[in-house]
Amino acid sequence: MTLFERRIAPAHPTPQDLKDRRWIFIPYDRFTDRTGPLTEQAAEKTGIILVESTAKAHRRPYHKKKLVLLISNMRHFALEQAAHGCSVVYHFSPHSHATALLQLQRGLPLLNITTTRPAERELRIDIAAATKLGLQLKIVPDTTWLSTTEDFTTVFGPYKPGRSYVMDRFYRAQRQKSGILMDGQKPRGGQFSFDAENRRPYKVQVPIPAPPSFPPDAITQEVIEYVAREYDHHFGEIEGFDGPCTQSDADAAWSFALNNLLPHFGPYEDAMRDDELQLFHSRMSGLINLGRLLPARMIADVERACTDGLIPLASAEGFIRQLLGWREFMRHLHEQTDGYRLLANHVPQEKTKLPESDPYAGAAPSALNASLPLPAAYWGVTSGLHCLDTVVAQVIREGWSHHITRLMVLSNLATLCGFSPRELTDWFWFAYVDAYDWVVETNVLGMATYADGGLTATKPYVSGAAYINKMSNYCGHCQYDPKRSTGEGSCPFTALYWTFLERNEPVLGSNFRLQMPYTTLRKKSATELVQLRARAEEAIAHLQSFKRPEY
């Protein structure tokens, strides 16, 4: 028996508990007693069910630190609820969550089980399949979200093929509805978004405080050893895990970010450094997506700090926009499009990527017909592109990197080269601690690669070396020259950028937001175009020349 099993054993229900208590199934990403069904009765009247499913953990080669973060938070949540007086059924299963739940319902037995509506489509289809086999589950709304489906459809209407969704419209409506950062009907500071002010490179203008570390306790240590043993072949490093695993760790991590990082969040939001992983980003996504931190409380904290003059308005607004705007927008978009499956009839698809027999296989839109295999550099084989190698090394080490590195390095390169958007999505899904279907598929297939044909973003987020050079210190440490676009030693990004535009002119040439670069492209001489094509082809061939690991 493990230490965790010994500690949780006293909370196992008696036959009377099984009959008398209200039983609540806690999904693997909703560890909260601050909202939802756990708040509706006393702990002495509550029983919770948690399932550690190895079927789910083996479904993808999830980063080892992601598995540790999730499993350790799950075990600590069970112990925390037991300490409050809940009965706990903590079940280890080789099956999916819902199959395990069905077995528990029949075996214990547990007639009435409540759960919140799962955030992940994967869990929803898992539950739907088990329900057909007899699982009886009362599903209640998930109150960790800030908006409802109606909030989304009121702005955009029901899903219609070909429609494009602009996040800003949804965000404004949410600000108006909630009154957050509003002075009556007017946005505080006279504008809804201060995004244009938030684009400074970081040149050590203000020191970056070191984030707190949470050394593993005995329960986490046991999880680390278990993951190292059972999931040794998975992506990423496990060494040095010091993530928050209890509710008080999560609260301390947020308090640090609120007081020390958010005051400078806005101006350096888009900056990238090879010597700084986090800059002024909160790094809270892993905890938010596990339900440990509630966006409503975080937004209230930020708004209060802004009112008290502790966080400048541009930073407060920038941060609130991510939670109230982007995060909610993405999950609605995922649900409205059934994880982008509804795009199949009107957006080109990667033909081989959706085996119908696998209910968990992801949708594979590819509006720009990109389908090259994702190269080994994403698994840590050194490419010589310093920006790429730096970010991949960060992800291998931590299972996390901040937004702009995800968008303007990892996804930018993949989009420019024409790597498969589905493979890139799956890579993000297993490599990042905060990745779940509703947020990773929308961000990669939608925002980052334009694979959805413009549903999420009005143009592809692509750039040559100039943007990366301006916003980071990468290029100063790279063997390639960001100022040159052709010939030996030139940065591959710029040649890839121009050939990307050229290759995709039939789809993108009339996009009003790309008229400036297309005008420049059309003025390029035939000789320069030949040289750009040669440099781009050479760069792609170089990246594809290394063998990547298989799982």
- Residue 399 φ/ψ, nearest 5 degrees: 70, 25
Out of 480, 497, 498, 500, name the contact with ligand SF4 by CB under 6 A.
Answer: 480
Give the one entry of ligand SF4, ligand FAD, none that residue 475 binds, where binding means its C-beta sits below a cut-off of 5 to 8 angstroms depending on kind: ligand SF4
Residue among 402, 422, 503, 535 that touches ligand FAD (CB under 6 A): 402
* Residues 219-239: b if buried by 16+ CB within 10 A, e if exposed: bbebbbebbbeebeebbbebe
Name the minimum Å distance from CB 258 to ligand FAD: 11
Is residue 385 at the binding interface for ligand SF4, with CB under 6 A as the rule? Answer: yes
Asked if 371 interacts with ligand FAD (CB under 6 A), we say no
- Distance from chain centroid for Cα 491: 29
Q: Which stretch binds ligand SF4 (CB under 6 A): 150-158, 253-261, 470-478, 506-514?
A: 470-478
Shortest CB 425 distance to ligand SF4, Å: 22
500 contributes a contact to ligand SF4 by CB under 6 A? no
Q: List strand residue ranges (DSSP E) for 2-107, in order.
A: 22-25, 46-53, 87-93
**Window of 15-23, 51-59, 279-287, 374-382 that interacts with ligand FAD by CB under 6 A:** 279-287
Backbone CA torsion sign across 453, 456, 459, 464 = negative
Q: Left (φ > 0), alpha (ψ -120 to 50) or beta: where does 414 sit?
A: alpha
Q: How big is the site for ligand SF4, counted in residues (CB under 6 A)?
A: 13
Instruction: Note whether 386 binds ligand SF4 by CB under 6 A.
Output: yes
Q: How far is the CB of 484 from ligand SF4 (least distance, A)?
A: 9
Sign of the C-alpha dihedral computed for residues 64, 65, 66 and 70 taken in this order: positive
Q: Which residues on neighbouring strands pair with residue 89, listed in sequence order? A: 49
| DSSP structure string for 353-374 | G--TT-TTPPP-B-TT---BPP
Determine if 447 is a binding residue for ligand FAD (CB under 6 A).
yes
Q: Please identify, using beta-carbon distances, which residue of 311 and 475 lies nearer to ligand SF4.
A: 475
Beta-ladder partners of 419: 372
Contact partner, 97, from ligand SF4, ligand FAD, none, Cβ < 5-8 Å per class: none
Instruction: Decide whether 447 or 451 has the Cβ nearer to ligand FAD.
Output: 447
* For ligand FAD, the closer CB: 102 or 324: 324
By CB under 6 A, name the one of 46, 73, 282, 494 that touches ligand FAD: 282
Contact with ligand SF4 (CB under 6 A) among 57, 146, 435, 465: 465
Nearest CA to 344 out of 422, 259, 283 is that of: 422
The answer to whether the beta carbons of residues 119 and 436 sit under 8 Å apart is yes
Site of tokens 């339900």:
291
Peptide bond into 517 cis (omega under 30): no
Instruction: Choose from ligand SF4, ligand FAD, none: what does 386 bind? Cβ within 5-8 Å by kind.
Output: ligand SF4
| Options 242-250, 357-365, 436-444, 451-459: segment touching ligand FAD (CB under 6 A) | 436-444
Here the tokens at position 311 are 């966080």
Residue 231 interacts with ligand FAD (CB under 6 A): yes or no: no
- The rounded radius of gyration (Å) of the Cα atoms in the chain is 24
From ligand FAD, ligand SF4, none, which one binds at residue 326 (CB under 5 to 8 Å depending on kind)?
A: ligand FAD
CB 280 within 8 A of CB 262: yes
Q: Is 497 in the site for ligand SF4 (CB under 6 A)?
A: no
User: What residues pair up with 472 in beta bridges, in sequence order?
Assistant: 272
Residue 422 in contact with ligand FAD, rule: CB under 6 A: no
Binding of ligand SF4 by 451 (CB under 6 A): no
Asked if 478 is part of the footprint of ligand SF4 (rule: CB under 6 A), the reply reads yes
Is position 219 an interface residue for ligand SF4 (rule: CB under 6 A)? no
Q: What distance in Å separates the CA atoms of residue 81 and residue 74, rounded to the nearest whole number? A: 11
Print burial letters for 351-362: b (CB count within 10 Å at least 16), e (below 16).
Answer: eebeeeeeeeeb
Nearest of 468, 427, 467, 463 to residue 445 by alpha carbon:
427
Both tokens of residue 286? 């892993």
Torsion angle (degrees, nearest 10) of CA 497, 498, 503, 505: 110
Binding residue for ligand SF4 (CB under 6 A) from 482, 495, 497, 503?
482
Task: From residue 172, give the alpha-carbon distance in Å to each of 149, 298, 317, 401.
Answer: 16, 19, 12, 28
Q: Is 181 left (phi over 0), alpha (psi -120 to 50) or beta?
A: left
Q: Which is nearer to ligand FAD, 175 or 283 (CB)?
A: 283
- Closest-by-Cβ residue to ligand SF4 is 478
Q: How far is the CB of 108 from ligand FAD (least distance, A)?
A: 35
Q: Tell me, what amino acid is at 499?
A: T
**In this chain, which stretch among 322-330, 339-347, 472-480, 506-514 interacts with ligand SF4, using CB under 6 A?**
472-480
* Residue 439, contacted partner among ligand SF4, ligand FAD, none, CB below 5-8 A by kind: ligand FAD
Q: Which 322-351 positions form the footprint of ligand FAD (CB under 6 A)?
A: 322-323, 326-327, 330
Which residues lie near ligand SF4 (CB under 6 A)? 385-387, 465, 468-469, 474-475, 478, 480, 482, 491, 493
Which residues lie near ligand FAD (CB under 6 A)? 281-285, 288-289, 319, 322-323, 326-327, 330, 402-403, 406-407, 411, 428, 432, 434-435, 439-440, 443-444, 447-448
